[in-house]
Amino acid sequence: MGITHNNIGEGARLSAIQEQEWGTFHTRPVHQVTMTNAAGATARITNYGATLLSLEIPDRHGQLIDVTLGFDTFDEYLGTHPFFGATIGRCANRIAGGMFTLDGHMFSLDVNNDPNHIHGGRRGFDKHLWDITRAGQGLGDVFVKMAYTSIDGDEGYPGNVEAAITYTLTFDNTLRIEMQAGADASTPVNMTNHSYWNLNGHESGSILDHEVTLIGDAYTPIDETRITPGEIKPVDGTPYDFTTPKPIRTNMDALPLLGEDDPGGYDHNYVIRDADGTLKPAAQIYSPQSGLTMYVRTNQPGIQFYTGNFLDGSIIGKAGVPYGKHHALCLETQKFPDAINKQGVEGWPSVILRPGEPYYHEVQYAFSCDKK
């Protein structure tokens, strides 16, 4: 669509948004949008999967570092990878057995994480080309909005869903992601962003020394298939307790393994404290090496904390960097995993979107830096 806009922000470095063709998908052009704010931070997004490709933030020395994992070329995103930066839908996380019942009807979904359905299926929202509908600037912020229609029967889900996402890079180094949807039939919707974060830079190896605070006093335990039985348990006195800041590695060895193939590490949903549908703090991550702190705020009730356990060095990312175990962490804001099969369970949020109801999910990743 040929976006090129420039604007002088307060103070006043140049902020800008630019678009360029990046490849072709089923004869349609794929676009890459680059947004730069007045502070010099830069976010790159593609309309393939409404995916965040990179986010460059200044560290304590004023050097820009790319804090997300990903690839350099479009073709690499067509290969197998663990959802780097992708918009996930219709339903994030796992659905037990790839089945659910809604209004008396049973639905079978694609089983793409045996024995379960995960992240919308083999061709979820992340594997489709979105339409760029709007882009621009205002008051020092830069944004791009995209839309996608998921048709009735898509990956087994009922009803047509009109989805939209807006990425905004603010003047104060906050990346705001707003996900919206509407449906013409009742269907589960539980979107998320699946970025992999390393506050030392994507090329910097392990994140186990990152200091983590999770603003949640409870979590949802999982079985060997990584499905929760519907329990909510307190984190106090367990290795899952991040209510005060601590390096990720602190209690990792105390985590129970979920079978012979469990690589170890965190992959758990936390119940956000005082969640009420308004923006609440959900997590805080600090890197002593770069001086960067990332603050996560969301209007969702849950956040999946994942420590890149299944990365094994076989994926070669940006600049030829192999992404090994614990190379990054994910903080996926969401309603709880398998919520469609926990209808009526106390404390479990509903993921059912009815016709005429709006779905709105906001998450903010805000950055600051110490000056040591």
Q: How far apart are CA 127 and CA 49, in angstroms?
A: 5
What is the token pair recorded at 340?
Answer: 């469609």
User: At residue 339, what is the residue type?
Assistant: A
Measured CA to CA, the distance from residue 277 to residue 314 in angstroms comes to 39
Q: Which residues, 6+ apart, have CB-to-CB distance to 305 below 8 Å? A: 212, 214, 242, 266, 267, 268, 269, 270, 283, 329, 330, 331
Q: How far apart are the first and last CA of the chain?
A: 43
Could you say which of 19, 155, 211, 332 is catalytic?
332
Tokens representing 268 are: 């758990």
Q: Alpha-carbon distance 175 to 172, whole Å?
A: 9
- Annotation marks residue 194 as catalytic: yes
**Angstrom distance (rounded) from CA 245 to CA 342:** 32
Pairing state of beta strands 218-220 and 174-183? unpaired
Choosing from 31, 119, 194, 202, which is the catalytic residue? 194
SS3 52: strand
- Both tokens of residue 231? 């329990």
> According to the 3-state scheme, what is the secondary structure of 94-115?
EEHHHEEEECCEEEECCCCECC
CA atoms within 13 Å, Cβ hemisphere of 308: 29
Decide if 210 is catalytic: no
Strand partners, 87: 193
Contact 269, 337 (CB under 8 A): yes
The CA distance from 63 to 77, in Å, is 27
- Whether residue 267 contacts residue 307, with contact meaning beta carbons closer than 8 Å, is answered with yes
Per the CB < 8 A criterion, the answer to whether 82 and 94 are in contact is no
Asked whether the beta carbons of 267 and 304 are under 8 A apart, the reply is yes
Q: Which residues are annotated as catalytic? A: 194, 332
